Amino acid sequence: MNSSPSPQETHTTPPLSGRLKLLCSVILLTVAVDFLTFGINLGIGVTLLCGLIWFILRLNRPARTIDWKDLLLYGLMAISAIQTAIELSFSNWLVLFLLTIYASGHFLHRQIAPYWRRALEGLFGLLNVYLVFFNLKRGLREAKHSSQSSTFKDSLKQGKRWFVITLPASIITIAFLFLFSSGNALMGDEIKNTLTNLAQWIIDYQFPSFLRITFWICIAFLLLSLLSRSPLSLDLARIEKHLPGGWAAPTDLAARIWSTRILLIAVNVIFFAANSLDVFYLWMETKLPDEINFSEYVHQGVYNLIACVALAAGVLLIVFQQNKQITNTRGQKFLANLWIAQNFLLISSVLLRLHLYIDTYHLSLLRLYVAFFLILVVVGFVLLAIKINQQRNFSWLINSNLLAVFLLFFVVQLINDRAFVARYNYEQALQSDKGNIILDVDYLASLGPPAWPVLQWVAEDVPQFGNTANLAKNELLNTSYDEQYRLRNSDWRSWQYRRWIASNSLPNTIELVIGSNE
């Protein structure tokens, strides 16, 4: 890390003005979270909320100049926040979460080295919620100390002073308002209406439900932890010292060298056998034995093979964290690179299996995400190969892999993946024979607004799709009813661009009913 926190920084409490600013920020954000998210369909309101949270995060940070890392972070935040107004998705939520916890560490903990350490600091900040609940004794002791401090007493004295200053003006203002309410009919009417509306609001006010109060409390504690410095951050220096930088030299060096060599030879032989079978039966399209089912061979083995690839990466990482006298021995890196190359061949076979299964059945979001994951695995092996051959440290590998994961989810959040899946399946169905069309209308409907245009194409093409077109019409009819109900019970906070476009493309309910009867 760049530098560890100074003793003064770790033991002093922030001034009262800083704590008041923090408290006001938490109250403001809690009100904003309640207004923009509670009990409504989420949409563009999340965009405004993210911008407000990030602005207040920076507002509560220690003063410092803006550098290129800040500008890059602002750009990523702006793109992700805008994406929430286009379409909310799991990848979008994950990116927002990662950016927020990183921003917490980046803005509030400048003394911590960048990248994964600051992201870890953001997570530690959220864990401070549990410290609040399970360490109340310490909190009460700090509150008592703060109330007895000279700073608190001076602030209390200033508050009393301002009360005395504003008291005469308050009394005179109330007196004049009372006189004007009787002497000026227009002004009196306005004052009367204001007081009447206020009294009516008090009479009609409904006390929030237990669920809403619990929501406020949970959000307030989370925001308090996010915006304040966590005491857990003091452990980051100790955590970094315990990161595996390499193992000590073993007492029997020759035995460890041969143990590593035999391990690498054994796994290379196993992977060579598995890859040879794939080349023969999968790539060369040789007929499978009668006792082997195509679906079992192509589909059910995908996840086990992915587990093999992930285990291989873990084994390689552990093996090359050993002492350099072991890993730099002749032949060790060659065997490791050979195993990495065989993993690439295995991954390509998994992708081919996935492609064959999609051609036989249909594409789904899960299968698309499996393909994305395999791309990420390939990147991970490339980074692992760089670490092994260039002898990079463990921290570099963590930063590189976390960056790769973040970039994948950042890109995926911008892709209209549901529309892609729906259109791909539609195109595949068009290429099929009329009597052999495989198109899961229920699955298309489950993809939501991005798939509505595809449902319309299917519903309008009765000659090609037959009974499937009628099923699509029924789905559109139900969707149109549901969407009209949702629009009547939503406002601008729920607006999303892709849903808005899809909703405008839905045919009129009456047209659908007529079309279904024809």
Residues 295-337: pLDDT tens digits? 666 666 677 778 888 888 888 888 888 878 888 888 888 998 9
Say if 39 falls within a structural domain.
yes
Q: Which residues lie closer than 8 Å to 445 by C-beta, 6 or more apart?
A: 451, 455, 475, 479
- CA–CA separation, 383 vs 465, rounded Å? 48
Least confidently predicted of 424-428, 494-498, 512-516: 512-516
Q: What does the DSSP assignment read for 313-351?
A: HHHHHHHTTS-HHHHTSTTHHHHHHHHHHHHHHHHHHHH
Say if 412 falls within a structural domain.
no
Q: State whether 190 and 77 are in the same domain.
A: yes
Kindly report, residue by residue over 342-376, the tens digit of the pLDDT: 989 988 988 888 888 888 778 999 889 988 988 98
Say if 171 falls within a structural domain.
no
For residue 513, count other CB atoms closer than 10 A to its CB.
Answer: 12
**CA-based angle 86:87:91, to the nearest 5?**
125
Q: State whether 329 and 366 are in the same domain.
A: yes
Q: Is the CB of residue 410 less than 8 Å from the CB of residue 94? A: no
Domains in the chain: how many in total? 3
What is the pLDDT, as a whole number, of residue 6? 43
Q: State whether 363 and 385 are in the same domain.
A: yes
Q: State whether 195 and 264 are in the same domain.
A: no
Say if 178 falls within a structural domain.
no
Structure tokens at 184: 């000026």
Q: State whether 386 and 479 are in the same domain.
A: no
What is the pLDDT, as a whole number, of residue 513? 47
| DSSP designation for 248 | P
- CA–CA separation, 29 vs 32, rounded Å? 5
Confidence of residue 432 (pLDDT cuts 50, 70, 90): confident
Look up residue 37 and give its amino acid. Answer: T
- CA–CA separation, 19 vs 241, rounded Å? 32
Longest CA–CA separation in the chain, Å: 105
For residue 471, count other CB atoms closer than 10 A to its CB.
Answer: 20
Domain that holds residue 484: 418-517
Q: Is the CB of residue 350 less than 8 Å from the CB of residue 306? A: yes
Half-sphere exposure at residue 439, Cβ-oriented, CA atoms within 13 angstroms: 34
pTM assigned to the model: 0.76
Look up residue 1 and give its amino acid. Answer: M
